[in-house]
Structure 1
Amino acid sequence: MSRDLSSEIDALKKQMAELHQLVQHMVLERKPAANLNLGDPLYEDSVIKDPDSSSVFYSGYVHLNGQGLRWEPQERRIQQLLGLNSDKVAKVLAALGNKQRLDILRTVLNEPLTGAELVDRLNMGTTGQLYHHLKALIGANLLVQEPGGRYGFPMHRCLPFLLLLAAAGDLLDTSDYMDMMETRNNAGVYFGTSQDFDVHHLLWAVVENSILEHQAGFCSEIDLFLHDDGSVTVTDNGRGIPVEALVQSILTDINRFSSSAQFQVPGAERGISIAVVNALSQKLTVEIRRDGKIYRQEYRQGIPQSGLMTVGISNETGTSVTFKSDAELFGVGFDRTKLDLRKNELLTAYPNLSIHIHD
C-alpha cells in the first residue's frame, strides 16, 4: 500500500495552523490584537485600557543534581507586585545581595557540599565566617542541610532564585551606571579638592592610555585636537581597544583598571581611568580602528547612547576619544600654555614619541 506523503504533509500543516490559531486565540483573550505583535519578545502598548489586568507570567525547567524540575506557568498581578511590603522586599534583596551568601547559594545550587568543601571551593580560608552565613541562610529557608552534612538548595526555592538571577542579568549594566553617578557625585576624590576641578586632568588621563600603548611598543604618535565647542579629541596609532574585550565595559566599569592604567592627581584619593573621564563628561565618543574596520560608540554622562557600531573600514589601527567635560563640574576650558608645558614634559620622558596639538 503506497502512502500519499504530499497529502499527509498538507494535513500536518493544517493541524499546525489550527494549533497556532488556538494559541493566538488564548493569548488574544488576555490582550487586544491591536496592541499585540506576536513574535516580538517585547512590544509597546500605547494605551493601557485596564492596568489592573497587567500580569507577569513565569515558568521554567532545569536539571539540577540529577533531577529534572519543571515549574508550571505562574502568574503575578502587577498591582500585587507593586503592593509588596517594601521593608520585607528590601530585606530579601539585602540578604541575597551579600556576595559571600550569593556565592554559597550559587555553588550549592549545582552540587550539595559540606562546609569544608564550601570553604575550599570559595577560598574562604576559615569556617567561622562560612557558618555565620550558613546559619542565616538556613534560618531564611534558603538552604537545607542534607543527610551526610552537605548543604543544598531547597527545591521549591530554585525557581524564584533563578528568576532573580535572570532579572539581575538584565539589570547588570545598571550597576556600572550607578557607579557612574556616584563618581559624578564624589568627583573630588579624583582631584584632591572639593571644587574647581581641573579639566586638564581628564585630558591627561585619556593621554595616559596612549602612553601605555607607547610603552608596550605599539604607539608612536599622539594627536590632540581642540574643538570650538570645548571638546577635545585624543587620537593615537596604537593597536586600538580590543573589541572582543567589550569596549563598553572598559568605558563604564569604574573599578576595572589597576593603578597603572590610571592618571593620579597629586593629593587625590583615587586615580582617573578612562571610565572616570566618561562619567565626568557631558558627552564622549570612542572610535576604534582595528581588524580592518572602524568601530564607534557614543556616551552621555557615561551612559551609552548606542551599541558599538561598525561605521567604516580602514587599514590603520588606533583609538580616538573625543570628550566634552561636564560644564557643571568643570567651568574653565583648556589652557594652551598648560597643554604645551605638559607636552614638553612627555616628550622629554618619551623621546621616541611624537605629540602634536592642533587648534
Structure 2
Amino acid sequence: MTRDLLHEMDVLQKQMAELQQLVYQALVERKPASASNQQPQEITSASNIHESNHEPGSVFYSGQVHLNGDGLRWEPQERRMEQLLDMNTEKAAKILAALGNKQRLDILKAVMTEPLTGSELVERLNMGTTGQLYHHLKALLGADLLVQEHGGRYALPKHRSLPFLLLLSAAGDLLDTSDYLEMTETRNHAGMYFGTSQNFDIHQLLWAVVENSILEHTNGYGNQIGIFLHGDGSVTVTDNGRGIPVQALPNSSIPAVQSILTDVHRLNSSAHFLVPGAEKGISIAVVNALSQRLAVEIRRDGKVYRQEYRHGIPQTGLLTVRLTQDTGTSVTFKPEPELFGSTFEMNHIMERKKAIDADYPELTLTIGDIAE
C-alpha cells in the first residue's frame, strides 16, 4: 500500500495546532480567581495575532527553579493588559529606583543561589567597607527584598524569587538599550572625539574605520583595503581580512559584531583612532553613533552576513545574504549631516593614502569614486 505522506503531514500539523490551542486554553482556565469572572480568550503567538482581535490581551508567566537546595515552582499566572497599564507608576518607580543600583542588584544576585553573611558579601562583591554594604542591606530588608536567616546570613525571600527573576529577564531583553543611550550621549558630546567643540573633521571618521582594517593587516590578516566614495555622501571601507566575528556572545543572542558596533566603551577587538587633542579615541562604535546610517557586510565561514543601522540602532538582525569563499569586512556609512557640515574630499584622502603606503608597503590601498 502506498502512503500519502503529504496528507499525513497535514493531519499531524492540524493535530499539533489543536494541541497547542488546548494548552493555551488550559492556561487561561487556571488564571487567578480575581480574573475568574472574565471569559477565557484565545491566546496566540505575537506573530499570529489577528487584526480583528481588539482585546488588549494578557501576559502569562510561571517558573521552576532550584534555589538554596529548594525546588520552587510557580503555577501559571496572568496579568491583564489593563492591570499593567493601570499600575500605580509612582510606586512602580520607587521599586525600580530601589533596585536601580548596581551593588543592590549584585547583592540580590549573590544571595539568590546561596545565603551569605555580611562579611562574605563584602569579600565576594569587593565592596571595600562593611558600612557601604549595610546601607544597601538596610534598604533591601526594609523593602522585604531580603531576609536575614539564623546565623546572620542574608537570603532572597522565596516569594520574591520569581518576580526578581522576571525583572532580570525583562532587563535582559532591554539590555541593548543601555548601549543606545550611551551612543546618544556620544552624539551629544561629539567634541570629545575631535579635540574641538565645532568644525568636526569628517575624515577622522573615515580614518578610524580604515584603522580597523590596518590593524587586521598588521596582525597578519589581509593585504588589501579599498575606500570608495559615493554620490550620496556615504563611503565604503572594505578589506580582505578575517571578517568581524559573528558568533553570539556568551549567554546572549547578540552577535559579536553588533556588540562591537554599539558598545562605545569596548576596548578589545576594535581599534581606536585618537585625534590629536581629543579626550577619547574614535572606535567603530563611535563612527556608528555619529552616522546617519551604517551597513556592515562580513565575509567569513563561507557566508556573507549583513546588518544595517540608523543612528547606531540596528534596523535588522545579522542576516545571511549569500555564500562566498572570500573573507573580509565592508563598512558603508554616511556621517550625520547635523554634525558634519563638510563632505569627503578626494584630495584629502589621496594625501592620506601616500602616508599609509609609506608606512605599510605590503598593504595595497585602493581609492575609488563611485557616482550614484
Deviates more, 1:16-25 or 1:242-251: 16-25
Letter in 2 for 1:317: T
* 1:234 counterpart (234, 237, 250): 237
Q: Figure out how many residues of one structure are paired with residues of the other and give that number.
A: 338
CA distance in structure 2 between the partners assigned to 1:24 and 1:346 by the alignment:
63
* 1:250 counterpart (248, 252, 260): 260
* 1:152 counterpart (148, 151, 155): 155
Letter in 1 for 2:49: E
SS at match of 1:261: coil
Any conservation in 2 of the 1:96–1:102 contact (CA below 8 Å)? yes
Q: Which residue of 1 aligns with 2:7?
A: none
Q: Superposition pairs for residues 25-104 of structure 1, below 5 Å?
A: 27=28, 29-31=39-41, 38=44, 40=45, 42-47=47-52, 49-51=54-56, 54-104=57-107
Any conservation in 2 of the 1:109–1:153 contact (CA below 8 Å)? yes
Q: Structure 1: which 5+ residue stretches go unaligned?
A: 1-14
Deviation, 1:346, is 2.2
Letter in 2 for 1:249: S
Q: Deviations over 1:245-265 (max 9, x none)?
A: 621111111111259821112
Confirm or deny that 1:345 pairs with 2:355: yes
CA distance in structure 2 between the partners assigned to 1:20 and 1:212 by the alignment:
52
Deviation, 1:301, is 1.5
CA distance in structure 2 between the partners assigned to 1:21 and 1:197 by the alignment:
59
CA distance in structure 2 between the partners assigned to 1:323 and 1:116 by the alignment:
51
Deviation, 1:94, is 2.2
CA distance in structure 1 between the partners assigned to 2:146 and 2:278 by the alignment:
44
* 2:144 counterpart (141, 152, 155): 141
Letter in 1 for 2:60: F
Q: Deviations over 1:229-288 (max 9, x none)?
A: 111111112111122262111111111125982111222222111111111112111111
Deviates more, 1:80-89 or 1:103-112: 80-89
SS at match of 1:332: coil
* 2:298 counterpart (271, 279, 288): 288
Letter in 1 for 2:226: D
Letter in 2 for 1:124: M
Q: Deviations over 1:199-238 (max 9, x none)?
A: 1111011011111112212132211011111111111121
Q: Superposition pairs for residues 1-359 of structure 1, below 5 Å?
A: 23=23, 27=28, 29-31=39-41, 38=44, 40=45, 42-47=47-52, 49-51=54-56, 54-244=57-247, 246-257=256-267, 261-359=271-369
Q: Structure 2: which 5+ residue stretches go unaligned?
A: 1-14, 30-38, 250-255
Letter in 2 for 1:44: I
Letter in 2 for 1:296: R
Any conservation in 2 of the 1:289–1:319 contact (CA below 8 Å)? yes
CA distance in structure 1 between the partners assigned to 2:168 and 2:157 by the alignment:
16
Q: Please, what TM-score do these two structures have when normalized by structure 1?
A: 0.86
Question: Per the alignment, do residues 95 and 79 of structure 1 end up closer, same or farther by CA in structure 2, a change over 3 Å counting?
Answer: same
Question: Per the alignment, do residues 346 and 128 of structure 1 end up closer, same or farther by CA in structure 2, a change over 3 Å counting?
Answer: farther
CA distance in structure 2 between the partners assigned to 1:231 and 1:101 by the alignment:
45
Deviates more, 1:211-220 or 1:258-267: 258-267
SS at match of 1:181: helix
Question: Per the alignment, do residues 232 and 292 of structure 1 end up closer, same or farther by CA in structure 2, a change over 3 Å counting?
Answer: same
